Structure 1
């Protein structure tokens, strides 16, 4: 799926969700409202540039489509695939230590916060994890070019991934303490 792309984006059609969910029997629905996989979700042409930083600013998610879907399927669990925020600190770290990720951009965290406060119950952020891991490994290899023991570079990578997940769970996705509510 990472190799699949289109010059035209298609959002989920709210008028089709009732028929789709009833005919398929799915227990959650992954919708398209402007997310996509990877660190290059958007081309520079789809974005604007922040005049202060020169960084890309992606187009906003189509919350109007999400709202319409929630009206048609009240309380139905919604999933957002390809919702990594592509944290700039990891992109910068990767680039600083020899990587080449120009114009990598993701879904802004404030939009993920908004989505998580709705019927969206699952937000996929795997690219953020891979970026954190890669950033930490690149730093170790830069600082200690003779290092070859995976325990010495995977440990810092795991630690940075853990830090990233804690931030997402507590500060972005609103899922901190939710497991205790299932009892």
Structure 2
């Protein structure tokens, strides 16, 4: 979405050629393919971890941090390694989004009319708000210290980053 906004605002005359049907198919295939691979890796790794502390979760859906609390200590590092790889992939996407929005905001500030700037900002801010909500709650869920962990807080944060962004996407796009 950030690339779409970048092309629409920074290179509007080239929108049709840069984001034609072929480019959209390639981007969708890349997103679906990496998402599928990511899901398969996590699922295979999660189901191969033996659980030493029972099999009852404190939530109504399966979250990786909750499963790690139940795993045997020496298998914990394998899942943490997968999370590090995931964090590297996430960081690459995050840098791409940030660079896109830096270019977008630079282009928006050069728009001479107030109405044009307002239209450009209103196009980008909802997407940026959802991305910020997803990133901040994901960081909090995976990087918070165990001392501030509670079942209710874990549930609220998990719902915020896994349910809210997909639910508001149709409203934004």
TM-score by length of 1: 0.30
Structure that is richer in helix per residue: 2
The structure where strand makes up a greater share of residues is 1
TM-score of the superposed pair, with normalisation by structure 2 = 0.32
Relative contact order, higher structure (CA 8 A, sep 6+)? 2
Larger radius of gyration: 2
